[in-house]
Structure 1
Amino acid sequence: MRALPAGARVYLSCAVLLAGGCVLSGASGLARAPWDAVALLAVLYAVCELLPRCPFVGHSVSVDPGAFFPVPLAAVFLLPPSAAALAVLPGALLGRVWRRPSGVRRVWRAAELSVAVWTASSLRTWWGEGAGGFPGVLVPAGVAVLGFCAVLTALDGGILVTAERMPVRTAWRGLFPRSLAPHCVHGLAGLMMAVLWRSPYGPVAALFVLLPMYLSCWVFTQYQRERDAHRSTIRALVQAVDIKDRYTRGHSERVGRASAMMAAELGMDEERREVLRFAGILHDVGKLGVPTRILRKDGPLTPEERRVIELHPEYGHEMVRGIGFLGEARAAILHHHERMDGSGYPYGLSGERIPEFARVVAVADAFDAMTSTRSYRRARPVPEALAELERCAGTQFDARMVNALVAALDREGWNPEVTAGGTAAEPPRTEDADPSRGAAGPRPLPLPAPARPRSSAEPAGAAPHLPEGLDVSGGKG
């Protein structure tokens, strides 16, 4: 309690008092409540809360705290309001005991769940049992579930304001719509439990409703764990690249963000957008195979060093070949330096022969390189960078991808952080030994070239010795 802001402590205390009032409000009715059902539901919910954390079941599988709401909702349909509010308290207080910090969280969860269950049961009682059995019973059940969802989201918004200090105008935004669908599913399962509970087979039959719920939660948890493992793998690779090439730190994350924005504009589904974001984040992972002395070399690169740099897409593809979840991202890593006119590398592909993901990443890579501050130049304004991309559309870049980036930026904007380039005192360095690159923007010049010609877009007063081989694609290669 001491770690909570004063407002949150007051809010939590009020919620606890309100929950106590809900339980005691029907003190006279509690004497007539079916205590066998109250006890069984209380034990069942406590077991459901403890089971996912049991080290002997599912290797301590973590399940969302709302996964077993069918049991409290079954209590809503089976018990009077005060008895239903009492039945959920043991499970909410005992659940998730292996998670820390747990004490205040458990008290809060028990209080809000008790209030929500009491409200839902009161609405169901007020409405009645429904006329003519099924489907008439769905109406009071639906009203009860709506009340349950509304109370939980209202209380959750309050704790976001008081404990997390979220602005009032945004705390409740979207909470109810996001919660409604899962709560309706839980409500239907709870109604099925109540119907089976009252059947000749009794409470044992109601347990069969929980089995598919638990299995579905377990499958979803495994899916989430797999996604977390994917993200951890990618994060480790990106951190390794950032450590090796410190001048472009943050570049990969921004390329991934721009790639995902373009994917949304192109109408890709959510799964492909996620894979394309991975492609943007990992596009330069092959730099791990390039000697650090070359990546950090100041001044021009020799033709031999340039050839080594140009191997980084193949190095990257080889590194991620066995990572199955990357899918199309692997092709983007291999081909993001190909050009529409066929003058790119490593294979000189042209036009539609270049994979779609590679064409997206090439544009995102170039855009971030131009709009990022490096040790040898300042960031270019976004409109200027977009104009340069449009100028090179059709030769170096796919015009459709350039248009997608322009449309995405018009809709969402762009607020990049300044890259972790060197300080102004540091000497210039070769950032990307792609001879087609110019500090002022993309230049579709032939490959290879022993020296970097001055770009026509560079100001006349530019320093004559700029890093050789610069390109809007960002980073070496």
Structure 2
Amino acid sequence: MRSVPGWARAYIAGAVLAALGCLAALPDDPVPWGAVGLLAVLYAGCEQITRCPFLGRRAPEGMGTFFPVLLAGAFLLPPPAAALVAVPGALISRVERRPRGPRRLWRAARLTVAVGAASRVHGALGGPEAVAGPDLPYALVPAVAAVLVFCTVLTLLDTGILALAERVPVRNLRSGGLFARQLAPVVAHGLGGLMMAVLWRGPHGPAAALLVLLPMYVSCWVFAQAHRERAAHRATVRALVQAVDIKDGYTRGHSERVGRASGMIARELGLGDGRVELVRFAGILHDVGKLGVPTRLLRKEGPLTPEERRVVELHPEYGHEMVRGIGFLGEARSAILHHHERLDGSGYPCGLVGDRIPQPARIVAVADAFDAMTSTRSYRRARPVAAALEELRRCAGTQFDPVMVRALVRALDRHGWHPPVTVDTADTADASAARGNVPPPSSPLRTEAGTEAGP
């Protein structure tokens, strides 16, 4: 939203009007302005506490939006009063990117509409009476319904603004991934909000309810720290990949695509999210050892001598040594070392056979060869995906693990694949062909799969 497009401005204006409509319909019963004011101050404080020196110069991402207070308001107050709780804190919240004014208005409007909708659903299902009871088992039903509505409204509003302001393709927003990512933290915050509401209505009043905030906020801080650590991991990986791309521009973009294909295979095999992420990192970093290979060999215009080729074939070992001290890579390190092994034992650097090759390495080997065959280079057109898969099937059992090949086929049937168009200079292509690193266009696919995925 650096320069907000016209349609996005209209969308934000519509959200602001919807928020004003939520605030306008005040109930006939007296509004508990004391509770509204206290909750609004608490929420605004939670928005501002990210500037506390205890959290460092810049707080972890995600610390500003603290939903338990907002959802407690939805469980305790009439809809217009509950919606009002979000407004002051959203309007004074920290905004890192420009334009700040429209971003603050958007944040206030989306939260106002979401809280108002959640409060209406909670009231329609008899939630306030259950909270005041307190009838805890029954109170969970309207509370969960309100949380789902809250998350759904946020997702719908965010989908619209991403499509209009950030130009995210609509097809990328239809899978429900945005809702799924928001649901778990919103549900956790909703339970915290319900605890606040029950204690608020209890004999000890608001003072007891405030005790819920500290552990909830600490837990949010811990999760935000974990998010920050994952972001640092990704930044480390990106830096290494960029270094490889600068040194060997011939394969620019190849590492990212191999990482993507490796992740698809791992997910199809039913591996857990943590292992899928590690396998994806392994695919991205499989050629990082090229940083240890002399640039003159990577760019040599002419065939490599046997001695030079042995030096190039050391890149898996170089890569393994480079990432040995990066603890978060875990199993990815073994994949970097062994992704050129072959099932029949003719690979390198260790000549491992069959299942002795680590599973991540067998995954990356298939992804590496698949991308090599389906990428367009200046010296030849990309092979069709179907032809590449047929070649992988033909080499399964000798060069590639048949289980991994079948997993890739299923993943591509499910998700598809869009091969890139990589334009290299004629000099680069001629040099690569002269070195023997790529076959002429008439070479069989078997040779291409084995050679292009090589050094």
Determine if the TM-score, normalized by the shorter chain, exceeds 0.5: yes
1:464 maps to which residue?
none
Cα deviation, residue 186, structure 1: 2.4
1:368-410 Cα offsets, whole Å, 9 max, x none, are 2222233443322333323332222222222222232233333
Rate the CA distance shift 1:347–1:178 in 2: closer, same or farther, 3 A: closer
1:243-277 Cα offsets, whole Å, 9 max, x none, are 11111111111211221122122222221111111
Number of residue equivalences? 449
Counterpart-to-counterpart distance in 1, 2:163 and 2:32: 39
Q: Which of 233, 241, 245 pairs up with 1:242? A: 245
1:452 maps to which residue?
none
1:102-140 Cα offsets, whole Å, 9 max, x none, are 321111121222233333334444444346631333344
138-147 or 379-388, which moves further after superposition? 138-147
Note if contact 2:433-2:439 (Cα within 8 Å) is conserved in structure 1.
no
Structure 2: runs of 5+ lacking an equivalent: none
Q: In structure 1, what residue type is equivalent to 2:238?
A: R
Cα deviation, residue 290, structure 1: 0.9
Note if contact 1:67-1:217 (Cα within 8 Å) is conserved in structure 2.
no
Counterpart-to-counterpart distance in 1, 2:454 and 2:152: 54
Cα deviation, residue 8, structure 1: 2.8
Cα deviation, residue 62, structure 1: 2.8
Note if contact 1:375-1:428 (Cα within 8 Å) is conserved in structure 2.
no
1:395 equivalenced with 2:395 (yes/no): no
User: 1:445-456 residue pairs with structure 2 within 5 A?
Assistant: none
1:163 equivalenced with 2:165 (yes/no): yes
1:474 equivalenced with 2:444 (yes/no): no
Cα deviation, residue 308, structure 1: 0.9
Q: In structure 1, what residue type is equivalent to 2:24?
A: L
Structure 1: runs of 5+ lacking an equivalent: 442-454, 459-468
Counterpart-to-counterpart distance in 1, 2:403 and 2:325: 31
Secondary structure of the 1:92 match is: helix
1:14 maps to which residue?
14
Cα deviation, residue 295, structure 1: 0.8
2:112 maps to which residue?
114
Counterpart-to-counterpart distance in 2, 1:343 and 1:143: 59
User: 1:5-404 residue pairs with structure 2 within 5 A?
Assistant: 5-26=5-26, 29=29, 32-64=30-62, 67-97=65-95, 100-128=98-126, 129-130=128-129, 133-134=134-135, 135-164=137-166, 174=176, 179-404=182-407
1:302-354 Cα offsets, whole Å, 9 max, x none, are 12211211111111111111111111111111111222222222122222222
Secondary structure of the 1:293 match is: helix
Rate the CA distance shift 1:378–1:153 in 2: closer, same or farther, 3 A: closer
Q: In structure 1, what residue type is equivalent to 2:23?
A: V
63-72 or 270-279, which moves further after superposition? 63-72
Q: In structure 2, what residue type is equivalent to 1:284?
A: D
Cα deviation, residue 215, structure 1: 1.6
Considering only CA atoms, is the larger Rg found in Structure 1 or Structure 2?
1
Counterpart-to-counterpart distance in 1, 2:435 and 2:415: 29
Rate the CA distance shift 1:424–1:415 in 2: closer, same or farther, 3 A: farther
Q: In structure 2, what residue type is equivalent to 1:352?
A: D
Counterpart-to-counterpart distance in 1, 2:86 and 2:220: 20
Note if contact 1:375-1:422 (Cα within 8 Å) is conserved in structure 2.
yes
Note if contact 2:433-2:440 (Cα within 8 Å) is conserved in structure 1.
no
Rate the CA distance shift 1:182–1:298 in 2: closer, same or farther, 3 A: same
Secondary structure of the 1:136 match is: helix
154-163 or 66-75, which moves further after superposition? 154-163
Note if contact 1:438-1:471 (Cα within 8 Å) is conserved in structure 2.
no
Cα deviation, residue 22, structure 1: 3.0
Counterpart-to-counterpart distance in 2, 1:423 and 1:414: 27
Counterpart-to-counterpart distance in 1, 2:170 and 2:276: 32
Q: TM-score, normalised by structure 2?
A: 0.87
Rate the CA distance shift 1:376–1:171 in 2: closer, same or farther, 3 A: closer
64-73 or 102-111, which moves further after superposition? 64-73
Rate the CA distance shift 1:440–1:275 in 2: closer, same or farther, 3 A: farther
1:129-177 Cα offsets, whole Å, 9 max, x none, are 3466313333443444344344434433443454345677876762556
Counterpart-to-counterpart distance in 2, 1:224 and 1:431: 46
Counterpart-to-counterpart distance in 1, 2:236 and 2:422: 23
Cα deviation, residue 289, structure 1: 0.9
Cα deviation, residue 209, structure 1: 1.1
Cα deviation, residue 287, structure 1: 0.9
Q: TM-score, normalised by structure 1?
A: 0.84
Note if contact 1:23-1:86 (Cα within 8 Å) is conserved in structure 2.
yes
Counterpart-to-counterpart distance in 2, 1:168 and 1:242: 31
Rate the CA distance shift 1:267–1:432 in 2: closer, same or farther, 3 A: farther
Cα deviation, residue 79, structure 1: 2.6
Rate the CA distance shift 1:340–1:87 in 2: closer, same or farther, 3 A: closer
1:37-70 Cα offsets, whole Å, 9 max, x none, are 2221111111001112434434432342674111
Secondary structure of the 1:331 match is: helix
Secondary structure of the 2:397 match is: coil
- Aligned-residue Cα RMSD (Å) equals 3.1
Counterpart-to-counterpart distance in 2, 1:300 and 1:254: 27
1:465 maps to which residue?
none
Cα deviation, residue 427, structure 1: 2.5
Counterpart-to-counterpart distance in 1, 2:360 and 2:163: 41
1:444 maps to which residue?
none
Cα deviation, residue 475, structure 1: 6.1
2:421 maps to which residue?
418
Cα deviation, residue 285, structure 1: 0.9
169-178 or 181-190, which moves further after superposition? 169-178
Note if contact 1:275-1:327 (Cα within 8 Å) is conserved in structure 2.
yes
Counterpart-to-counterpart distance in 2, 1:403 and 1:302: 37
Rate the CA distance shift 1:66–1:282 in 2: closer, same or farther, 3 A: same
Q: Select the structure that is richer in helix.
A: 2
Counterpart-to-counterpart distance in 2, 1:4 and 1:122: 32
Secondary structure of the 1:429 match is: helix
Cα deviation, residue 225, structure 1: 1.2
Secondary structure of the 1:416 match is: coil
Cα deviation, residue 420, structure 1: 4.1
